[in-house]
Amino acid sequence: MLKTSPTVKTASVEQLLNLWSQRFILDLSSLSSGNLSLYNFLQEAASPEGKAFTAAKLKDNVLDVNCQMAWIQTKALYGYIPNVLDLNEARLITQFAFRVYRKLLEIYQQQSLENNLLTLAVEENVSVLGIGAVEELVSALEPILMVFQEQHLVSKDWRALGFMTTQLNFSNKLILKKLTPPEKVLLTPYLKFVEEQIAMPWHRVCAAAAKHELGSPMLTLVEQMLPVCGDVAKTVYRRLAELLPNHRSRRGGLSDPEVTYSCLRDLNMFQAYIWLCLLEQSMAPLKNELLPLCQMVIQGVQIPWEMTEKWCQVLADEMMSRVNPEQQDLLLPYIEGMQQIFFEERKRLGVRQESVGGII
């Protein structure tokens, strides 16, 4: 859930903001065929004229139609839920989705390649292209995204937040279909940022770092693990696919590309909430925000509750395997707290414990 997080600038916060920005580097693999003309096209698309052309291609009618089509697709997925959103609410949501993308295109045009140059702290400094300062995106988009979220919360139904994330996901895919390969490379990180900003509390994780000094054990742990969140998600997902080869939900099986994408995003989200809890030294974000979202998803896409417990177990094992014994002592209370929250919810629902074989 998106919440406003005033950022107090400290060295600790700056460090996590830099690590967060590295989640949005440009993926040049699609242009790595050795054809130099592709890179020339990338430079052309990244020029002020090229970005203006991309924005003009997507503005107004195309964005409006894409947002409406995404709403139709989302409604179809959640259509079995009675009165998930009425028509007037849907119109408002579509209008605000349009405003989000219009603002995003404004920012996209303002940032130059020089502004998007990031330096990764590895054995040797390696410069890569990303989306520039994430704080700039947060300050520009957060007010619109907060209103967008409020339009979904009008229904006072947590399922509406899942509806919003799904709509942004569908909108992003429709927008990318309108772009050339170089334009996709350049705009994809911005679209990813919008979707993550709604679902993942990374900005709040960075803000919570203000409570910790550089070099403190908790901050060092988060600094170590934040860059590998994507790899952790992929490893956990592969393991779940092995354990549950026949698992299916309303969106398909675990091998379905759409399901893979959603699961990887959600595994990243789980990690973000764990690190937020650790830095805030409170289980409240997991209990009051993540659990209700999971309740919505489990009911909405017909995922067996036992699948969620298996998900938590495999994620916990993978995260614990990547830290040293001293760090395990710091992490374990939050890992166990997450598992306990989901265990208690299963008991509250009266779902009986089944083996992995029983749920597939």
In this predicted structure, the answer to whether residue 360 has a pLDDT above a threshold of 50 is no
The predicted structure's pLDDT at residue 74: 63
The pLDDT-based confidence of 253 (bands split at 50, 70, 90) is: confident
> Same domain for 254 and 306?
yes
SS (H, E, C) the chain: CCCCCCCCCCHHHHHHHHHHHHHHCCCCHHHCCCCHHHHHHHHHHHCHHHHHHHHHHHCCHHHHHHHHHHHHHHHHHHCCCCCCCCHHHHHHHHHHHHHHHHHHHHHHHHCCCCCCEEEECCCCCEEEECCCCHHHHHHHHHHHHHHHHHHHHCCCCCHHHHHHHHHHHHHHHHHHCCCCHHHHHHHHHHHHHHHHHHHCCHHHHHHHHHHCCCCCHHHHHHHHHHHHHHHHHHHHHHHHHHHCCCCEECCEECCCHHHHHHHHHHHHHHHHHHHHHHHHCCCHHHHHHHHHHHHHHHHHCCCCHHHHHHHHHHHHHHHHHCCCHHHHHHHHHHHHHHHHHHHHHHHHHCCCCCCHHHHC
- Please calculate the CA angle 115-96-6 and round it to the nearest 5 degrees: 55
Per residue in 166-208, pLDDT (tens digit) is: 777 878 888 898 899 889 999 999 999 988 888 889 999 999 9
Residue 3: inside a domain, yes or no?
A: no
* Residue 293 belongs to domain with CATH number: 1.10.490.20
In this predicted structure, the answer to whether residue 349 has a pLDDT above a threshold of 80 is no
In this predicted structure, the answer to whether residue 315 has a pLDDT above a threshold of 60 is yes
Residue 23: inside a domain, yes or no?
A: yes
pTM here?
A: 0.85
Which of 202, 228, 252 terminates a domain? The answer is: 202
Kind plus residue range of the DSSP H or E element containing 120: strand 117-120
| Domain limits for position 52 | 11-202
In the chain, the number of structural domains is: 2
Tokens representing residue 332 in the block = 């374990």
Mean per-residue pLDDT over the chain, rounded: 79
Residue reference for tokens 């998600």: 233
> Same domain for 264 and 315?
yes
Give the whole-number percent of the chain exceeding pLDDT 90.
33
Residue 131: inside a domain, yes or no?
A: yes
> Same domain for 242 and 291?
yes
Residue 2: inside a domain, yes or no?
A: no
End-to-end Cα, the chain, rounded Å: 30
* Residue 237 · residue 263 · CB < 8 Å: yes
Residues 53-63 have a mean pLDDT of 78
Residue 345: inside a domain, yes or no?
A: yes
> Same domain for 118 and 61?
yes
Residue 167: inside a domain, yes or no?
A: yes
Task: At 117, give phi and psi (nearest 5°).
Answer: -80, 125
The pLDDT-based confidence of 121 (bands split at 50, 70, 90) is: very low
The predicted structure's pLDDT at residue 300: 60
* Residue 145 belongs to domain with CATH number: 1.10.490
Range of lowest pLDDT (9-18, 219-228, 271-280): 9-18
In this predicted structure, the answer to whether residue 230 has a pLDDT above a threshold of 90 is yes
> Same domain for 352 and 328?
yes
The predicted structure's pLDDT at residue 57: 85
> Same domain for 228 and 139?
no
The pLDDT-based confidence of 124 (bands split at 50, 70, 90) is: very low
Beta bridge partners of 249: 252
Which of 178, 202, 226 terminates a domain? The answer is: 202
More confident position, 265 or 166: 265
The predicted structure's pLDDT at residue 183: 92
> Same domain for 220 and 122?
no
> Same domain for 120 and 264?
no
Tokens representing residue 293 in the block = 């979202």
Highest-confidence range of 8-12, 112-116, 195-199, 318-322, by mean pLDDT?
318-322
In this predicted structure, the answer to whether residue 241 has a pLDDT above a threshold of 70 is yes
> Same domain for 16 and 148?
yes
The predicted structure's pLDDT at residue 11: 93
